[in-house]
Amino acid sequence: MAKFAALGKETAKKDLGAFARSYGNVYVAQIAVGGNEMQAVRALLEAAAWPGPSLVIAYSTCIAHGIEMSTSMTHQKDAVGSGYWPLYRYHPSPQEGTQPFQLDSKAPTLPVAEFALAETRFSMLARSDPERSRHLLAMAQSDVTERWRYYEQLAQVARVLPHEVEPVTVAPSEDPEIRDAP
């Protein structure tokens, strides 16, 4: 385990896709081939067809994760099933009323701890400092649960395109303290 990671990471993992989605014109997808091959293919095709910038964030196992690489696809499926790696596509359609965020994975059914402890990078802390590991895994589960709740809400939001609005006029106040204020 890397020296800087020996005590685990206290903060939630960053949502790189959220940074890209904030621009409003970037196609963004989060995929895991072992989690859902068809979703990955659909996302790659949509990203290639999008006329603007596209970002596809793929979960990939690594020998450094300490898993048997012959189980890579199953491990990716567990990453998705635990909610550690939710699958989605964000297609910023130019049409009003569309729902640009498509949540492609099902609600998590596997505890994050069960997924995480299959990787050496997480299980080493569980062996060296079980209490801290339990704490961090509980925090990770809380983060996954909250992120999933947020993504479910985001999937219901309809796109509203920027448009000009009539200026709002405010009537003068009858309150002399407000009316006469400098």
Instruction: Please give the domain boundaries of the chain with CATH numbers for all domains.
Output: 14-160 (3.40.50.970)
Percent of the chain with pLDDT over 70: 90
Residue 171: both structure tokens together: 């009537």
Question: pLDDT tens digit string along 158-181?
Answer: 988 777 888 877 777 676 676 666
Question: pLDDT tens digit string along 19-78?
Answer: 999 998 999 999 999 999 999 999 999 999 999 999 999 999 888 877 888 888 999 999
pLDDT band at 93 (very low <50, low <70, confident <90, very high): confident
Q: How far apart are CA 114 and CA 120, in angstroms?
A: 12
Tell me the sheet residues that pair with 30: 57, 88
Q: How far apart are CA 17 and CA 137, in angstroms?
A: 23
Q: How far apart are CA 13 and CA 140, in angstroms?
A: 9
- DSSP, collapsed to helix, strand or coil, labels residue 74 as helix
Q: How far apart are CA 49 and CA 58, in angstroms?
A: 18
Q: How far apart are CA 173 and CA 90, in angstroms?
A: 45
Percent of the chain with pLDDT over 90: 63
Residue 133: both structure tokens together: 């590991």
Residue 101: both structure tokens together: 């965020």
